[in-house]
Amino acid sequence: MGILQWQANEPVQVQLKFPSGKHVEGKFGEQAMFSLLDGRVMYVPLIVEKQIQELGIKRGQPVEICKQQENGKTQWKVRRVQEKPVEEKPQPKPAARAASNAPDSNRKPQPAAELLDGAVSLDGPDVDVSPDAAQSQLEHALKIALQAAKRAERFSQEIGHPVQFDTSDIRLMAQTLVINNRGRAA
């Protein structure tokens, strides 16, 4: 895991893994540590975290940060990077996307609760995941993985470290469950 090194007056474009930073103690006092989608972390003054929150930057959204220095004074500037417009394609229903094996680089992560049926909130009731005879092993595993992700997202919100699972995370969890169940049956 690398650390983003700031150079004066050189804007850097990053994508945040989480929309809020973790407050840590640094050389010059309290600062915010952000995990980035490329695996690095960045440390910034709390004013930068405040600017990110004011802009409403979400996970994976490009943002440009510049440490401006002039006449011995340092100012941090944060600006939203305009994403290139993506041609709208009809999207399959969330459940169909969760079962798809085709990677989709334009897909943004959705909370697991939304993946359940496209409308369930994290505060909604849990879904019954008990298997019945008409259900395939994979379908049952997907429901269990979605339910587990939903609960993990809810818990992560409660402890102040929000996590979101995307469809590939859910698919991998379900595949792992199916593989593990087959190993037990053998």
pTM for the complete prediction?
Answer: 0.46
> Averaged over 102-109, what is the pLDDT?
49
- Count CB neighbours of 146 within 10 A: 27
- Map out the domains of the chain as residue ranges: 12-80, 94-185
Q: Which two tokens stand for residue 162?
A: 């929000």
Beta strands in 46-141 (DSSP E): 62-70, 73-80
Rg (CA), the chain: 20
List, in sequence order, every residue forming a beta bridge with 34; answer none if it has no partner. Answer: 42
As a whole number, mean pLDDT of residues 126-137 equals: 59
Res. 151: pLDDT tops 60? yes
> pLDDT band at residue 167, thresholds of 50, 70 and 90?
confident
